[in-house]
A and B are shown apart, each in its own frame.
Chain A
Amino acid sequence: MDDETLKFVIVGHIDHGKSTLIGRLLFDTGSLNEDKINEIKEICESLGKDFEFGYVMDHLEEERMQSITIDTAQTFFNTEKRNYVIIDAPGHVEFIKNMITGASQAEASILIVDAEEGVKEQTKRHAYILSMLGLDQIIVVINKMDLVGYKKDRFDEVKKDILDFLVGLNIKPSYVIPISAKVGDFVFNRSDEMKWYDGPTVLESLDTFKSKEVAVDGPLRFVVQDVYNFEKRIIVGRVESGILRRGDRIRVFPSGEETSVKGIEEYLKEDVKDAEAKKCTGMTTEDKLFLDRGDVVARCSDDKLPIITDMVSANLFWMDKVPLKRGEYISFRCATQEVPCEVVKINKTIDSSTLELIREDAGEIKNREVADVILKTAKPVVLENFNEIQELGRFVLSREDICGGGIITELQR
């Protein structure tokens, strides 16, 4: 096993078995220690229930009493291939912001559908959110096959429903697997009950996914977090794409000023020559430029340079009880940039669970609605298309807390 880690989120409608699947994954991979199993046994006995895997993740008293997941949580296990981080996401409609919080950290996902109930409201909403977040490594599991007599016909029916819906979102799942998380069919072990299925198990499928590639081959984007002056002036930030190299001729966006990288600064390290994507690092420059938080540094010789604009078209998911109104000023945050922006136009609002159009040229966006919006920032910002450099192609809108997340669809220079 190597050190590689894959983070995946389990999403789906409430009661379709997300927490149970996690318990099963942990149990079958030997990741639950005795303490934990005993703790769950005791809790189940005290509540007068059978041993319930769901309690592995549902830790809050309210979660266990009501058998629902309230907040997202993360846990760890490993296979012979690599380490995994499971992100559990609540299926209840009230906790959608917790689901998004969890899903925004994932590299892959499992969408779980109850074989009896079939595709429901949160199945669709969660699928929509996965597509919006750009997650394309997806496994669909049809759970609770034991409750439908392990019938292939029922599996085929539900499979068709969910695939028909996903086509509209441009999602093509890598696998569709019939399972019973409770019994353990096709999670880690195969199943004698469903000989008609000859595809991979859930764990075998996960092992085929790729960890998110670090964009070292892309154009350089170094996003400035802060400027320190402890012993000398050091510009700190994170390389979001490409490799920052000592001696590089660089241009600062949005100011357009140019200089060269004098040194790459890391504590107690001498002679650092470069810093690759995802590295938090520091640099000094040949010329004393005014650099500040939010600036984006690119290499002058790269073909693709970032875009400076104050007009943004985006897909926005709103998750605050107080609606976002047309004409409202709100804080726009992308990477380390933060500026006020005005909601110029709400082209259309969409019901995130049915994908049906609610209103064109709307006056406001309500909680859990998706909208196609045009935003105007109070001063120019440095952005990218989402499919080129994700870190600079997505943003949040915030009041006191974060209220919405968006993906840039079009940039007007």
Chain B
Amino acid sequence: MDHLDALESQSIYIIREAYKQFKDICILWSIGKDSTTLMWLVRKSFFGKVPFPAVHIDTGYKFKEIYEFRDEWSEEWDFKLVIGKNEEAIESGMAPDKGDKLACCGQLKTAALKQTIAEHDFKALLLGIRRDEHGIRAKERVFSPRNKQFQWDYKDQPPELWDQFKNRQKGEQHIRVHPLLHWTELDIWKYVQRENIPVVDLYFAKDGKRYRSIGCETCCNPVDSDADTVDKIVEELKTTDISERSGRAQDKERAYMMQKLRALGYM
């Protein structure tokens, strides 16, 4: 079994465990390369079906390419799409350029996710985060509990031995399941290349720039690159010295921003 086969198999194992243990489950689909790869793996796990809803947390500030991709592929792959939007905060004027970004991510992403989970009573969420993205994400468990307030108790995480994961959820707790935790950015692109997984055009270079990581248009900056195909991205990543999330404003605003965001329930 080669490296990508081994990664794929481990992810499918985790996805099937999550579905078996927690029937009220959803996949958080941000429409980026990772969560789209996760969606691909979900479809493989269930022989082409997606037996639970996909949730898109919509801040209203996403790139138009993201919305187009979402509508095209949710129809093509035929799954139930739930769009979570904090309308109240948006109406009251919360925006990336007003106040600080911690507050904006908190309202338009974390609070919107809280509302969506409460409304649909999801017990578990599949998320496409990876350990190599950020030092804080490297500390995650595969099955990671969040309390009612969404807090991540990173100082007292339950043990996880071999492939035995947390399989009970109590009360208003929900479990974040991370099937891609062991993948790297390069693994994702090699897999996208091998499997021919569709991704949003923003990842491909235009006029010497491309996006390494995508989210809200207002808070993402492209990096210098001439990689305009998946093959070229794979080659670029083998040698690059720039970190993946270097274009993401919310990671940088202040020290421990990611830890603070995640402790409060951010993805």
Contact = CB atoms under 8 A, between A and B. Distances in A.
B20 to A, nearest CB: 5
Given A226-B19, A278-B9, A101 B246 contact: no
Contact of B6 (A59, A278, A398): A278
Contacts of B16: 225-226, 236, 280
A210 interface: no
Given A3-B2, A74-B131, A101-B161, A59 B155 contact: no
A34 interface: yes
A59 B17 CA distance: 29
B241 to A, nearest CB: 5
Contacts of B3: 3-5, 83
Contacts of B51: 230
Given A33-B243, A401-B166, A402-B159, A59 B139 contact: yes
Given A71-B157, A101-B141, A319-B159, A59 B259 contact: yes
Interface in A382-413: 391, 394, 396, 398, 400-403, 405
Interface in A55-97: 56-57, 59-62, 70-76, 83, 85, 97
Given A59-B259, A73-B138, A267-B47, A280 B161 contact: no
Interface in A103-151: 104-105
Interface string B1-42: 111011001101100110110000000000000000000000
Chain B interface residue number, banded: 35 or more
Contact of B159 (A57, A293, A394, A401): A401
Interface residues of A, number: 61
A396 B46 CA distance: 28
A153 interface: no
Contacts of B10: 280
Contacts of A279: 1, 5, 9
A402 B1 contact: no
A71 B241 contact: no
Given A101-B159, A226-B20, A59 B138 contact: yes
B135 A57 contact: yes
A293 B20 CA distance: 9
Contacts of A403: 159
Contacts of A97: 158-159
Interface string B164-202: 101110100000000000101000000000000000000
B168 A60 contact: no
B21 to A, nearest CB: 10
A401 to B, nearest CB: 4
Contacts of A398: 164, 167-168
B5 to A, nearest CB: 7
B207 to A, nearest CB: 24
Given A35-B243, A276-B1, A394-B162, A60 B154 contact: yes
Given A33-B241, A62-B155, A236-B16, A267 B44 contact: yes
B90 interface: no
A234 B48 CA distance: 13
B132 interface: yes
A33 B132 CA distance: 13
A85 B131 CA distance: 11
B120 to A, nearest CB: 22
B246 A35 contact: yes
B249 interface: no
B73 interface: no
A192 to B, nearest CB: 29
B43 interface: yes
A178 interface: no
B260 to A, nearest CB: 8
B160 interface: yes
A61 B44 contact: no
Nearest to B8: A280
26 contacts: A33-B243, A34-B241, A36-B243, A46-B255, A57-B135, A60-B139, A61-B255, A73-B135, A74-B138, A83-B3, A97-B158, A98-B159, A105-B162, A226-B20, A230-B47, A238-B13, A267-B43, A268-B48, A278-B1, A279-B1, A282-B47, A398-B167, A401-B166, A401-B168, A402-B166, A405-B161
Interface of B: 1-3, 5-6, 9-10, 12-13, 16-17, 19-20, 43-49, 51, 131-132, 134-136, 138-139, 141, 154-155, 157-162, 164, 166-168, 170, 182, 184, 240-243, 246, 255-256, 259
Q: Which 5 A-B pairs have the closest CB atoms?
A: A59-B135, A401-B158, A73-B138, A3-B3, A97-B159
Interface of A: 3-5, 33-36, 43, 46, 56-57, 59-62, 70-76, 83, 85, 97-98, 100-101, 104-105, 214, 225-226, 228, 230-231, 234, 236, 238, 265-268, 276, 278-280, 282, 293, 319, 333, 338, 391, 394, 396, 398, 400-403, 405
Given A34-B242, A57-B135, A59-B259, 4 more contacts: A60-B259, A75-B138, A230-B46, A396-B161
